[in-house]
Structures are given as C-alpha cells and as structure tokens.
Copies of this chain bind each other. A is one copy, B any other.
Amino acid sequence: MPTYRAPVKDMLYVLNDILHIEKYSKLPTFEDATPDLIAAILKEGAKLCEEVIQPLNQIGDKEGCTRHDDGSVTTPAGFKEAYKLFTEGGWQGLNHTPDYGGQGLPYFMGVAMEEMLVSANLAFAMYPGLTSGTIAILTMQGSDEEKAKWLPNLISGKWAGTMNLTEPHCGTDLGMLRTKAVPQDDGSYKITGTKIFISSGEHDLTENIIHFVLARTPDAPAGTKGISLFIVPKVLVNDDGSLGTRNTVSCGSLEEKMGIHGNATAVLNYEDATGYLFGEEHKGLRGMFVMMNAARLGVAVQGLAISEVATQNAADYARERLQGRSISGVKEADKPADPIIVHPDVRRMLMDARAFNQGARAFALWVGLMVDISRKSPDEDARKHADNLLNLLTPVLKGYLTDGGYRHATAAQQVFGGAGYIVETGMEQFVRDARICQIYEGTNGIQALDLVGRKLPMEGGLPIRTYLELMEHFFSENADEPYAEFIDPLKTAVGDLQKAVLWFAQNGPANPDNAGAGSVAFLYLLGTVALGHMWAKMAITSSKLLDAGAEDKDFHQNKLITARYFIHRNLPDTAMYLRKIEAGAEDVMALDAGAF
C-alpha cells in the first residue's frame, strides 16, 4: 500500500528562500502570514493529508461512487468522515475571503495545500477543489447579495460547488452548447438540458451543491456570444437561508472511468430547474474563464502532486527491493542482491522525477504568488506585471506539469517491475488517476493552442516580452563567475525560446497552421525553460546559503546535485523542441484526412 510524506520542508524552502514571501508582507492577506504561521499551517495540513485522506485513496479507487435508483450518490467509505474533518479544520476556506468566513491566507497557500491533498487522494481533493472554483468566481464577480447568499456555506464547506460546461456534442467548443434558460416572472430562469462529465456532480458529502451552469437564453446569438452563466442549487434556498425544496436537477448516471473512481463524474439532467443569472446575460464565458484559469493552475498542481507521491513510493521500493548486482561491483555483499537503487537506469528515472517535482513545485508556487500579486497588489504596475506572467504561464503550467505527472507516475510504476502492474501496490492507480489531468480543464493540446494562438500575440507580445525581460534581469543579477555553470545553459535555452518566438512571428501570420503544428513543442520549450529558471534560482540560492554556513548542509547539497542533473540532462532538450517547431506545418498537414 502506498505511503505519503508531505514535502513541507521543500515547500518552506521555496516560499522562504526562493520566493522570499516575507518581502510581500504589506500585501493584503499577507500581513499575518508570517513564516512561522505558514510552517505551522502546512504541517497541520500535511498531517490531515497523510493520516486521514491518503489512507482512503485505494479504497476510493476500489469502491468508487454508487448511484442509487433515486439519483442520489454515495461516496466511498470514509470520504464523508474525512470531509467532515477537512471542513471542521477550516481548510475549505484556507485562502478565501475572511469577509465570508475564510481564513484569508494568500493564494499560494492554497497551491501548497492542493499539492498535499492531491498527493494523498485526487478523487477526494476534487470535491473541495470544485467548490473553490465556485468560491473564486463568486468572490471576484458576484454582487454583495450573491456573495452573502452563497459564499458563507461554500467557504465553510457546508455546501459544495460544481462547474457545468460540457454537453455530449460539445466539450472544447462551448459555442455549440444547447442547454436552455427561460426567464420567469420572478427574475429566475428555468434551466433545461443535459450536462456531462460533471466532476463532483452529485454526492453525499454536503447538504447542498451549487451548480454553475452555462446555458442559452431564448433568442441568444449563436456561438459563444450567446452563452450565459447561471447558479442552479441542488436544493433551493429560502430567503432566510434555510433549505427549501429539491430543485429539478438530477444525476442521470455516473461515468465509468479509467481512474478517479472516488469522484462522482455525473451526467446531470436539468428539467425546468430553477436557476439564477450570474453576471450579465450573454457574457457567461467571461465568468467561467475566471473559474477555469484558477482551475488550470489547480490541475497543474495535481500533475505535480501525483508525480511526487508516486516518486516517493518508487524511491522507497528501489531502496528495499533486492535484485541483481551493481554493474560497477557488488554494493551490499551481506545481502543476496543489491537494492535496485544501485542501477543507473533506476536512478535516472528517480532523478528525472525528482528534478521535475522540485522544479515544478517552485514553478507552481511562484505562479501562485503571481495570482496574489495580480489580485491584491496596490501597485498597478506590479499587478499588470503579474497578469502578464499569469497569462503566459497558466497554459504552460497546466500542460507541462500534467504531462510530467503522467510520465513520472508511469516511470515510478516501472521501477516496481511486474509488481507495479498489480492493483495491490497502488502504483497503477497513480497512472490512471494522473491521466485525467492531461484531459480536463482543456486538453493539453488546447493549452498549447491557447499559448501560441492567444497568449503569444496578446497585446503585441507583452506577456512573452515580460517573461524574456525577467530572464535578462535574472541573468544580470547573477552574472558572478561561480554561477556561470547554472546561468550559461539557461541562457542557451532562453536563446532557443527567443528563436521559437521569432519563428512563430515570421511564419505564423502567413500560415496559422505553423503555429498549431509547433504549439505543443513550444509549450514544452517554455516549460523546460521555466523549470531551468527555477533550478538556476535554487542552485544559486543554495550555493549562497552553503557559503554562509547554512545548517542543513545535506539539503542544500542535494539541491545542487538535482539542479546539475536537470541542467545537464533535461534543460538542453529545448534545442529539440525548437527544431520541431521550425519543422513547420507542411509535413503535418500533407496527408489527406481520409488517408489516416
């Protein structure tokens, strides 16, 4: 059975030594977030994840969710009790507004907690994760009345939330959706239609579920410009806040899926269900995008989280499993064989994953900090700067971290050999669960298209220019000779990035397929640079801390070892991605569609 040890120490290193969050203490929500408090909260969260939520992960996979004849859904054994502890601890409101009962901590704390929750149990984490999405949209776009009505019970976790976008004939292309919303005399709407793939769509964890639903009003324009957003509670809420009658939205069935069996993926049937317009009519997508951007960051962290826990278990196994002898000579002569961690290829898989996990964690927490700055900084330039980076990096984070999550979960399973293919060890569940992260919240192909098709040309290239300037700044800040071993390879990689941007600028306008054909390669190129940036930052920081006589020598030495591994073995892959981009669209588009 898999185990999990939350990497709180590594998180604190990133927050304190790399991001220096103490520098932001004047930002709203940061005032009270002292290093000590942050450490205490993360340790408490770690305990909950390790001891309560992680032990339910395999049970949840095996048991799955059960839909009963009346449309009600039961979550796996133990989920309800764990959710109760989760809400009682105030975790649902961790980084949400204290005006409606949240803890009011910075957004990046939510990123850290999301990692631990998902490492422990993705299917479970998705319930509060979806609720957080609805809290985000209400907080940012809701009226005072809407906030007062919905936020307190969502933030406390008493109620849960969902996002309803997909219909059978439309996933990515929301312009085609058909669900109807007919206005009523009392200002409400009657919602009718079928939504599919609704994560956490129906369950027994909360007394109510607040669905955010995309639908069309009568005579709405065709396409995405005719989509409005509605709040449709599972149970109607009386004016005094008490629960009223059951709304006419019901779970028609649960999907049988490859993984995340502990989360109920529902088909929801709306039959004249009462809903309330949220935001302006026909501008529903704008609201949904707020939720989706937050969700993309969350899903990115899910990829990292599964890679982390899978790697931990693979490393434990590699230290224990005795099989064969080291090719450089017997290492443990008193044992019948050496542990397989002596084999270079086993180490290669573990080092690849380690370099990814720690680099991705720094990347995700940094982007999390950007969300805080973007939302809360009193300085308009700082907000704009953070927005530029967020625009550029959100699709990169989602695509790169979730592809990595699947790849490293697969490698961790491989370390187990035949045992990894057996359900009992839990390693194959990591692979099946990690797989969804590459698909939902926009497939990774869509992320890449968003990156190359929308984010690169945005505001005359402002997002990418902001990032490249940041790199130049980083290089000039760290021009000292001892750091050249970390900076020079990153300069080469950034050079590849610049060439790719130039290539798109020169070849995209004449033939947009050139952008599409190189989009995923570009996402990987930028993701690799971003991790290289983080590793250079960590290597230089740890070097300085070692020079200054830091206490935990081993920790920082290991950072240097892992930084060198990434910089020597993985960072130069940017050359290959550039080459694939420059290969262009011609070969990709040449075959007749019928010939495939």
The answer to whether A247 has its CB under 8 Å from any CB of chain B is: no
Residue A443 at the B interface, CB < 8 A? yes
* A587 B575 Cβ-Cβ under 8 A: no
A358 to chain B, nearest CB (A): 12
Binary contact readout A517-528 vs B (1 if CB under 8 angstroms, 0 otherwise): 101100000000
Known contacts A337-B176, A344-B585, A591-B561: A197-B418 contact under CB 8 Å = yes
Q: A345-B517, A428-B258, A453-B327 are in contact. Are A583 and B595 (CB under 8 A)?
A: no
Q: Is B593 touching A339 in the complex (CB atoms < 8 A)? A: yes
Cβ of A256 under 8 Å from chain B: yes
A495 CB-CB contact with B under 8 Å: no
Say yes or no for A484: interface residue by CB 8 A criterion: no
Give every chain B residue within 8 A of A436 (Cβ-Cβ): 421
* Beta-carbon contact of A418 and B431 below 8 Å: no
Considering only CB atoms, which chain B residue lies closest to A572 in the complex?
Answer: B579
Contact B595 A569, beta carbon cutoff 8 Å: no
Q: Are A256 and B423 in contact (CB under 8 A)?
A: yes
From A577, which residue of chain B is reached at the shortest CB distance? B576
User: Given A337-B176, A431-B258: A351 and B558 within 8 A (CB)?
Assistant: no
Most buried by B among A328, A345, A438, A562: A345
Closest Cβ–Cβ distance, residue A590 to chain B (whole Å)? 5
Which residue from chain B places its CB closest to the CB of A560 in the assembled complex?
A: B590
Q: A507-546: which have CB < 8 Å to B?
A: 511-513, 515-517, 519-520
Given B258, B448, B449, B569, which contacts A423 in the complex, CB threshold below 8 Å?
B258
- Is there an interface contact between A258 and B347, defined as CB atoms closer than 8 Å? no
A588 B344 Cβ-Cβ under 8 A: yes
Chain B residues, Cβ within 8 Å of A259: 421
Which residues of chain A from 160 to 198 have any CB-CB distance to chain B below 8 Å in the complex?
166, 169-173, 175-176, 196-197
Within 8 A of B (CB), among A430-446: 431-432, 435-436, 438-440, 443-445
> Which A330-359 residues have a C-beta within 8 angstroms of B?
336-337, 339, 341-351, 354
- Name the one of B196, B337, B422 contacting A256, with C-beta atoms under 8 angstroms: B422
- Does residue A378 face the partner (Cβ distance < 8 Å to B)? no
B residues less than 8 Å from A336 (CB atoms): 176
In the bound complex, do residue B435 and residue A418 qualify as a contact, i.e. CB atoms below 8 Å apart? Answer: no
Q: Are A323 and B564 in contact (CB under 8 A)?
A: no
CB-CB under 8 A from A354, the residues of chain B are 591, 596
- The answer to whether A299 has its CB under 8 Å from any CB of chain B is no
A542, B568: Cα distance in complex, Å: 41
Are B258 and A432 in contact (CB-based, < 8 A)? Answer: yes
Q: What 7 A-B pairs have minimum CB-CB distances, sorted nearest first?
A: A344-B516, A315-B596, A258-B428, A344-B517, A256-B423, A327-B512, A565-B587
